C-alpha cells in the first residue's frame, strides 16, 4: 500500500500522480493504472451528484464514497476530502468528522481546504494520527467569497501569504499540499520552499505531482476548467452503449435466444 511516507520519498525523484474517484469501479481502474493516490474529492458534488458547486456535499456522502473507493483499492493512498463546514467551525466536530473517514471508511488521510483557520486543526489531527493533505490557492468551497473560480496568488501580497500558509501547514504536520489554479512561478517557489510534496492542479509543471478530476480525464465532463485535460472520450462510448440498448430493445433484437431460457419443469400454466 502506498503510504504518506512513500509520497514524500517520491517527491523530487519521481512525479506523484493523483486522480479523484468516487466509486469502486472507477477506483479500480485508477489503481490498476498505477496512480499513487486517489482523492475522494468533494468535486463529487459537480462530478456525480448533480450539484453546481461542492458546497452541498455532506460528510456522509464523502464517507460512503470513500468506503466504496477503499474497498476497491489495495495499493493507492486513499484521501477523503472534507466537505464545506465539516471542519473549521468546532474543533471536536472536525476531529469526529475526519476521524470517521479513517475509522468507518478506511481512508488513509484527509484533505482540508486550508487557510489560517486550519493550521491548529492540522496539528491536532496529525497529533491524533490523522494524516492531513493541505490545499491552497483556489479553494472552491470559498467560491461565494472569491466571486468565482479565479486563479489565486496573482500578486506579490497574496502569493507571499500563500507561501506563509504553506509553511505553516508544513510545520503543523501536513504530509503534502495541493496547489490549485495558481501561477506556475508561484507554485514552483512554494514547492522549492517546502520539504513536503506539492501536488498541482492548474499550477504548472514544477510541483512534485499532478492531480485531476477523473471525469475530466475520462472526457465525461460538459465543462472542464482551462487547466484540465481530457485523456479519453468515455462519454461518447457511454452514449453509444445506451443508444445501442434502446435500439436493440425497440427492434426486438434484445434479448436474443442466448439471453433467455425456457424452464422444462414448468408446465403450461393455463
Helices and strands of the chain, counted as H and E runs: 11, 8
Number of residues forming the site for ligand KIV (CB under 6 A): 11
Is 32 labeled as catalytic in the residue annotation? Answer: no
Give yes or no for residue 62 binding ligand KIV (CB under 6 A).
no
Sign of CA dihedral 9, 36, 103, 195: positive
Nearer to ligand KIV, 39 or 182 (CB): 39
Rounded to whole angstroms, how far apart are CA atoms 120 and 252?
64
Give the DSSP H or E segment for 110: strand 109-113
Q: Which one, of 159, 139, 166, lies nearest residue 150 by Cα?
A: 139
Q: Which one, of 217, 206, 232, lies nearest residue 16 by Cα?
A: 206
Residue 57 C-beta: closest distance to ligand KIV, Å:
9
Q: Say which residues have a Cβ less than 8 Å from residue 46's Cβ, sequence separation at least 6.
A: 52, 53, 54
**Stretch touching ligand KIV by CB under 6 A, among 3-11, 40-48, 115-123, 237-245:** 40-48
Neighbours of 131 (CB within 10 A): 24
Restricting to residues 205-234, name those near ligand KIV by CB under 6 A.
211, 213
Give yes or no for residue 43 binding ligand KIV (CB under 6 A).
yes
Cell 507561501, located at residue: 163
Nearer to ligand KIV, 7 or 211 (CB): 211
Residue 195 C-beta: closest distance to ligand KIV, Å:
21
Give yes or no for residue 81 binding ligand KIV (CB under 6 A).
yes
**Stretch touching ligand KIV by CB under 6 A, among 35-43, 95-103, 160-168, 226-234:** 35-43
SS3 of residue 254 by DSSP: coil
Cβ contact 83:51 at 8 Å: no
Nearer to ligand KIV, 114 or 189 (CB): 114
Give yes or no for residue 70 binding ligand KIV (CB under 6 A).
no
x/- map, 168-207, ligand KIV, by CB under 6 A: ----------x-x--------------------x------
Give yes or no for residue 42 binding ligand KIV (CB under 6 A).
yes
Cell numbers given for 213: 478530476
**Stretch touching ligand KIV by CB under 6 A, among 39-47, 83-91, 151-159, 233-241:** 39-47
31, 61, 113, 180: the active-site residue: 180
**Stretch touching ligand KIV by CB under 6 A, among 8-16, 38-46, 124-132, 255-263:** 38-46
Rounded to whole angstroms, how far apart are CA atoms 68 and 105?
8
Nearer to ligand KIV, 43 or 176 (CB): 43
Buried b (16+ CB within 10 A) or exposed e, 79-103: bbbbbbebbbeeeeebbebbebbbe
Active-site annotation, residues: 180
- Binding residues for ligand KIV, per CB under 6 A? 20, 39, 41-43, 81, 178, 180, 201, 211, 213
Amino acid at each position: 500500500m502506498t503510504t504518506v511516507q512513500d509520497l514524500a520519498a517520491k517527491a523530487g525523484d519521481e512525479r506523484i500522480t493523483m486522480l479523484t474517484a468516487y466509486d469502486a469501479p472507477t477506483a479500480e481502474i485508477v489503481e490498476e493504472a498505477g496512480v499513487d493516490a486517489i482523492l475522494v474529492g468533494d468535486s463529487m458534488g459537480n462530478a456525480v451528484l448533480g450539484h453546481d458547486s461542492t458546497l452541498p456535499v455532506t460528510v456522509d456522502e464523502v464517507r460512503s464514497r470513500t468506503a466504496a473507493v477503499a474497498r476497491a483499492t489495495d495499493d493507492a493512498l486513499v484521501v477523503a476530502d472534507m466537505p464545506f463546514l465539516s471542519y473549521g467551525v468546532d474543533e471536536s466536530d472536525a476531529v469526529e468528522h475526519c476521524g470517521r473517514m479513517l475509522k468507518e471508511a478506511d481512508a488513509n488521510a484527509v484533505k482540508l481546504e486550508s487557510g489560517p483557520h486550519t493550521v491548529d486543526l492540522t496539528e491536532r489531527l496529525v497529533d491524533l494520527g490523522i494524516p492531513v493533505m493541505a490545499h491552497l490557492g483556489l479553494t472552491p468551497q470559498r467560491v461565494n467569497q472569491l466571486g468565482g473560480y479565479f486563479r489565486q496568488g496573482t500578486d506579490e501580497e497574496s502569493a507571499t501569504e500563500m507561501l506563509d500558509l504553506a509553511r505553516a501547514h508544513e510545520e503543523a504536520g501536513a504530509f503534502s499540499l495541493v496547489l490549485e489554479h495558481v501561477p506556475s512561478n508561484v507554485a514552483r517557489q512554494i514547492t522549492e520552499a517546502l520539504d513536503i510534496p506539492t501536488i498541482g492542479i492548474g499550477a504548472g509543471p514544477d510541483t512534485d505531482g499532478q492531480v485531476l478530476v477523473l471525469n475530466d480525464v475520462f472526457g465525461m465532463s460538459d465543462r472542464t476548467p482551462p487547466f484540465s485535460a481530457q485523456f479519453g472520450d468515455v462519454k461518447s462510448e457511454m452514449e453509444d452503449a445506451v443508444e445501442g440498448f434502446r435500439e436493440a430493445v425497440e427492434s426486438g433484437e434484445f434479448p436474443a435466444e442466448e439471453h433467455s431460457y425456457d424452464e422444462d419443469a414448468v408446465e403450461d400454466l393455463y
